[in-house]
């Protein structure tokens, strides 16, 4: 369930040089065993449809937690056939997820790490930011890398872990909801088959056939704003920074973005007139003229890919429909400003993965999945709100909005309050979660801090969380007797207790000011519970075995007194 094809053009067109297209990997079709078992329908615990960033992240996440899944994709490769880079900006929370999955070093080695951005109005710089200022994470604020590389690395990692049945050239043609799961009809080059799933996850993207078939209204809207992407290599030294022009003099007073990606390729986005001819603006001679205006007449360059786009948005009313769940673009699409699309889908997968793992392992009830919708849909609403405001700043819809933008830009170079109003895309960050039944106090992401054990050996928060879907109870200078009683009472529960300082007999970390700030500066003796997806979920002021167990039960929608699954 699908990807469109992109034509990268020839190696020479109208005197403009095209770089050789990327050679994407492909994987062989293997006839599924269900084709031989036509007399009965095989049932799988977890089926994921769509091998894009969200679907691959979920499969990899489950495998790291020791949980098998079936992943179906209609293609046999990653990305878009051709050289389109698609999404490129991977935010810190996403990189922390990649670190836990075991691909972050590979992403960092291939991609471009950056934290600094500049915004210009005409020739004048009006705003700058450094995302590293407030960062205490082991991972950088952003890495730029073509999307197909990320998908490629995830596939390699999934195959290395060995727990995922990854089936290429398996196209889902129909989904039927069941009271206890879903029935899935699949078409392959060797024939068709039908399977069932306890849980089905739709990761098929913005044009989800599953969503359409089930008749779910995503409330789509489409912008009239038009852009043209140029992925290009050129010989001109420039800093590794995100540069944005609100009204670039070399683009007829319209916006431009400039990012460096892997392989020395620059992604440059040019805002176009709303009524433009998209075929015309994508011609090499037209795109080349824009580049020469920007880079200067003597700069050599070669195109990797050119393509127009117009953005849309949509949002499902619910991300959970019984045993069918929607993640990534199948659930929500936002405008591309601030890199809140692909990152949000990857973070959907990280939110869902540990919950599905606990349910599959019999350590949590199915009601835990209600928290996926309760947390990730508000995150999508917030991302839609933020990115829509960016879109309106870059393409004002009324004379009043244009007047406001001119005033902001005029004041921004001299006044701090106006700089905060310059909106060329608020960069993606981990969403806070609202108060819900499982999160009475809401939740906030905790960065992947560098920490030290009591003996001085280094560790990180992700190391402490591990991959067994246990919550982490960080107990600040606990009382010895209380700590031992809690350890005994929770030994069989999905919880790992770790002390911060003190001599409690628990595994102990050295006190760390950055960690304390991340957790809200807990008082001595208090316990902060951190979920497997690195979200601060509960604070217990005077923890006891009973109160710790009760907090975990609330968090996991579980009652171990009556339900011992």
423-450 pLDDT, tens digit per residue, is 888 888 899 999 999 999 999 999 999 9
Tell me whether strands 164-167 and 301-309 are parallel, antiparallel or unpaired: unpaired
Mean pLDDT of 46-58: 98
Is the pLDDT at 75 greater than 50? The verdict is yes
Tell me whether strands 181-188 and 171-178 are parallel, antiparallel or unpaired: antiparallel
Is the pLDDT at 11 greater than 50? The verdict is no
CB 6 within 8 A of CB 18: no
CB 383 within 8 A of CB 332: yes
- Domain residue spans in the chain? 42-109+146-217+315-384, 226-309, 444-555
What confidence score (pLDDT) does residue 7 get? 35
Angle between helices 53-64 and 147-161 in degrees, nearest 10: 30
Dump pLDDT digits (tens) for 502-556: 888 899 999 999 999 999 999 999 999 999 999 999 999 999 999 999 999 999 9
Residue 167: pLDDT band by 50, 70, 90 thresholds? very high
Q: Report the C-alpha gap between 9 and 3 in whole angstroms.
A: 18
3-class secondary structure per residue, 477-494: CCCHHHHHHHHHHCCCCC
User: DSSP string of 361-411?
Assistant: TTSS-GGGGHHHHHHHHHHHHHHHHHHHHHHHHHS--SHHHHHHHHHHHHH
**Lowest mean pLDDT across 21-25, 86-90, 145-149, 498-502:** 21-25
298: Cβ–Cβ under 8 A, 6 or more apart, which residues?
A: none
What confidence score (pLDDT) does residue 21 get? 65
What confidence score (pLDDT) does residue 6 get? 32
Pick the CATH number of 226-309 from 3.10.20.30, 3.40.50.300, 3.30.70.2450, 3.30.930.10: 3.30.70.2450
Q: Which two tokens stand for residue 508?
A: 């102990």
What mean pLDDT is reported for the chain? 91
What confidence score (pLDDT) does residue 561 get? 53
CB 139 within 8 A of CB 99: yes
Is the pLDDT at 563 greater than 70? The verdict is no
pTM of the model: 0.94
Mean pLDDT of 233-254: 93
Q: To 5 degrees, how large is the angle CA 74–CA 76–CA 82?
A: 105
Pick the CATH number of 42-109+146-217+315-384 from 3.50.50.60, 1.10.10.60, 3.10.290.10, 3.40.50.720: 3.50.50.60
What confidence score (pLDDT) does residue 8 get? 38
Dump pLDDT digits (tens) for 114-130: 999 999 999 999 988 99
Q: Report the C-alpha gap between 480 and 488 in whole angstroms.
A: 12
**Lowest mean pLDDT across 14-18, 160-164, 552-556:** 14-18
Is the pLDDT at 389 greater than 80? The verdict is yes
Residue 16: pLDDT band by 50, 70, 90 thresholds? low
CB 70 within 8 A of CB 48: yes
Residue 20: pLDDT band by 50, 70, 90 thresholds? low
CB 465 within 8 A of CB 534: yes
Mean pLDDT of 385-405: 87
Tell me whether strands 69-72 and 42-49 are parallel, antiparallel or unpaired: parallel
CB-count exposure of residue 105 (10 Å: 0-12, 13-18, 19+)? exposed
Pick the CATH number of 444-555 from 2.30.30.30, 3.40.30.10, 1.10.3720.10, 3.30.499.10: 3.40.30.10
């Amino acid at each position: 369930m699908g990807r469109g094809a992109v034509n990268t053009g020839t190696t020479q067109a109208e005197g403009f040089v095209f770089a050789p297209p990327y050679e994407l990997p492909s994987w062989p079709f293997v006839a599924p065993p269900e084709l031989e078992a036509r007399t009965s329908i095989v049932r799988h615990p977890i089926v994921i449809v769509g091998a894009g960033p969200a679907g691959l992240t979920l499969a990899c996440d489950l495998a790291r937690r020791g949980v098998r899944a079936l992943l179906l994709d209609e293609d046999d490769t990653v990305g878009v056939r051709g050289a389109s880079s698609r999404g490129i900006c991977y935010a810190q929370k996403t990189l922390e997820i990649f670190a836990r999955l075991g691909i972050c070093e590979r992403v960092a080695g291939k991609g471009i790490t950056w934290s600094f951005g500049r915004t210009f109005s005409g020739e004048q710089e009006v705003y700058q930011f450094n995302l590293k200022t407030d960062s205490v994470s082991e991972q950088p604020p952003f890495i730029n890398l073509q999307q197909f590389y990320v998908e490629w690395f995830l596939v390699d990692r999934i195959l290395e872990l060995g727990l995922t049945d990854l089936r290429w050239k398996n196209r889902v043609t129909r989904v039927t909801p069941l009271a206890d799961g879903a029935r899935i009809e699949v078409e392959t080059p060797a024939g068709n088959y039908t399977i069932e799933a306890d849980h089905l996850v739709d990761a098929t993207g913005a044009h989800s056939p599953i969503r359409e078939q089930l008749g779910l209204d995503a409330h789509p809207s489409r912008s009239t704003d038009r852009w043209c992407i140029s992925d290009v290599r050129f010989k001109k030294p420039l800093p590794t920074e995100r540069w944005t022009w609100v009204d670039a003099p070399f683009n007829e007073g319209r916006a431009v973005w400039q990012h460096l990606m892997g392989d020395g390729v620059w992604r440059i986005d040019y805002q176009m007139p709303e009524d433009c001819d998209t075929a015309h603006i994508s011609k090499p001679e037209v795109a080349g003229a824009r580049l020469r205006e920007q880079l200067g007449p003597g700069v050599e360059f070669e195109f990797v890919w050119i393509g127009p786009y117009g953005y849309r948005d949509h949002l499902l009313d619910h991300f959970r429909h019984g045993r069918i769940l929607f993640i990534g673009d199948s659930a929500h699409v936002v405008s591309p400003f601030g890199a809140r699309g692909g990152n949000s889908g990857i973070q959907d997968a990280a939110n869902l993965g540990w919950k599905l793992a606990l349910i599959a392992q019999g350590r949590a009830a199915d009601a835990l999945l209600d928290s996926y919708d309760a947390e990730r849909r508000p995150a999508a609403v917030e991302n839609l709100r933020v990115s829509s405001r960016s879109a309106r700043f870059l393409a004002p819809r009324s004379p009043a909005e244009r007047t406001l933008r001119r005033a902001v830009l005029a004041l921004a170079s001299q006044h701090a309050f106006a700089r905060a109003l310059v909106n060329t895309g608020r960069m993606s960050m981990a969403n806070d979660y609202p108060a819900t039944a499982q999160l009475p106090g809401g939740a906030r992401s905790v960065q992947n801090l560098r920490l030290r054990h009591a003996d001085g050996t280094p560790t990180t928060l992700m190391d402490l969380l591990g991959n067994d879907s246990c919550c982490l109870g960080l107990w600040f200078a606990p009382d010895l007797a209380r700590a031992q009683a809690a350890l005994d009472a929770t030994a069989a529960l999905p919880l790992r207790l770790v002390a911060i300082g003190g001599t409690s007999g628990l595994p102990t970390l050295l006190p760390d000011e950055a960690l304390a700030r991340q957790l809200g500066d807990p008082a001595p003796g208090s316990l902060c519970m951190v979920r497997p997806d690195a979200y601060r979920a509960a604070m217990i002021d005077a923890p006891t075995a009973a109160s710790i167990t009760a907090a975990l039960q609330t968090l996991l929608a579980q009652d171990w007194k009556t339900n011992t699954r």
